[in-house]
Structure 1
């Protein structure tokens, strides 16, 4: 092997060694270094040096805030209503060592933790309460998962509930229930109206009957007074009775003559005699 070849190999090894020893870490990133398979240290942004051949960069971890979309899932409320809920969480890795070695896949772990916590929190609420308590669910969710993910070197910045709605099946059931309730109220309203109308009509008939009865009483009293005066004047007790009976008789004949079925009306030739005969007179 000539000198040129030896020099080329030498400089190649030097270049490889330097490239392995010098690490330039970009802003917003940290490198996790292992030495002989074991965690050794974390490299921050800028120029860093490690031991070539025995140290290696095992993981590159971002220190920027990470937005994690939590997929939609169906949850069951306390009153057995089915809801669809999804969320979004904002996290920051504060300890790359724990994030790498403390959990197999921190993204998957956080997603499962959020979904499980959502099912537990909403499962303690009724449908109406869950729909109107988005802020309370958010606060309880953040409290539930913050301690767990801090063990993985991760800080939960915030978590937001994006959508919380009844499932399609539940929405259809709610619409049918609302329609049935509207129909029930309409039926009750119509029934109340019919009842009120019937009561008013009955009260009207009762009042009319009372008025008619009062009129009959007044008329009878007036007639009695008239009969008494006539009797006193002519000193004949039979004549007033004949007068009243004749009046009734003539009224009945008039009613009969106005009937649709009336054809011919025959009156007795001697009406006073006929009336007297009704009274048993001679």
Structure 2
């Protein structure tokens, strides 16, 4: 009989079975098996994987119906459990995350849910322990999409629009206040030093072309005179 070489890569683990019975977990490396022997090696990918959970109908604490879709990131932590004790660990993880979603959202009011960055962490904490029983380690859960009922969606859109309009009006009011404050400061300077006004007029003349100005630059000690530009 010719032996067969089995390579378990760095990102894999091997489950060794002899006559159908699990014997040991194999790390990365090369292993030789007889072609018609009683030993089998099943390789398991240990890299991070992604599980997409489409829109789930849930109720918030105040009775608002939503549809929420999730993305979960996980990796097999114990291949012997995930393969030998669970018929479909991926399906089991799907149901675990789904149940955790209903439990967490059911304790949060609608207004608190919008923009709440802590919900993802709460979902992860709620599902992690049950996922470990499947031989799986959950590393992240995130809400991909939150879909509101039609009428409620319109209402929140109006609230967001009103908030944006209010912020724009506030910014305009701040700009107008700053402009008035600048004018008031300028008026006080001119009142204390009238010569500043004449200097400002000269600056305006210098920046202007094609116009004629008549200026009275007389002082109390000089006779009135005029200048044309």
TM-score by length of 2: 0.62
Identify the match of residue 150 of structure 2 among 164, 168, 178.
168
SS at match of 2:139: strand
- State the distance in 1 between where 2:22 and 2:104 align: 38
Q: 1:126 Cα deviation (Å)? A: 1.4
Q: 1:64 Cα deviation (Å)? A: 0.7
Counterpart of 1:109 in structure 2 is 92
**Count of residues in correspondence between the two structures:** 159
- Is the counterpart of residue 154 in structure 1 residue 136 in structure 2? yes
Identify the match of residue 138 of structure 1 among 120, 123, 133.
120
- State the distance in 2 between where 1:30 and 1:39 align: 14
RMSD: 2.3
Counterpart of 2:79 in structure 1 is 96
Counterpart of 1:263 in structure 2 is none
Q: 1:171 Cα deviation (Å)? A: 2.4
- State the distance in 2 between where 1:153 and 1:71 align: 23
- Is the counterpart of residue 83 in structure 1 residue 44 in structure 2? no
Q: Is the 8 A contact 2:82 2:134 kept in 1?
A: yes
Alignment of 1:171-190 (within 5 A): 171=153, 174=155
- Structure number with the higher helix fraction is 1
- State the distance in 1 between where 2:141 and 2:72 align: 4
Q: Is the 8 A contact 1:74 1:167 kept in 2?
A: no
- Structure number with the higher strand fraction is 2
- State the distance in 2 between where 1:169 and 1:44 align: 56
TM-score by length of 1: 0.51
Counterpart of 1:55 in structure 2 is 39
Q: Is the 8 A contact 1:114 1:145 kept in 2?
A: yes
Q: 1:169 to 1:46 in 2, by over 3 A?
A: farther
Q: Is the 8 A contact 1:79 1:126 kept in 2?
A: yes
Counterpart of 1:46 in structure 2 is 29
- State the distance in 2 between where 1:26 and 1:80 align: 50
Identify the match of residue 70 of structure 1 among 53, 66, 73.
53
The structure with the largest alpha-carbon Rg is 1
Counterpart of 1:32 in structure 2 is 15
Q: Is the 8 A contact 1:89 1:158 kept in 2?
A: yes
Tell me which stretches of 4 or more aligned residues in structure 1 moved more than 6 Å: none
Counterpart of 1:128 in structure 2 is 111
- State the distance in 2 between where 1:169 and 1:109 align: 35
Q: Is the 8 A contact 2:61 2:109 kept in 1?
A: yes
SS at match of 2:97: helix
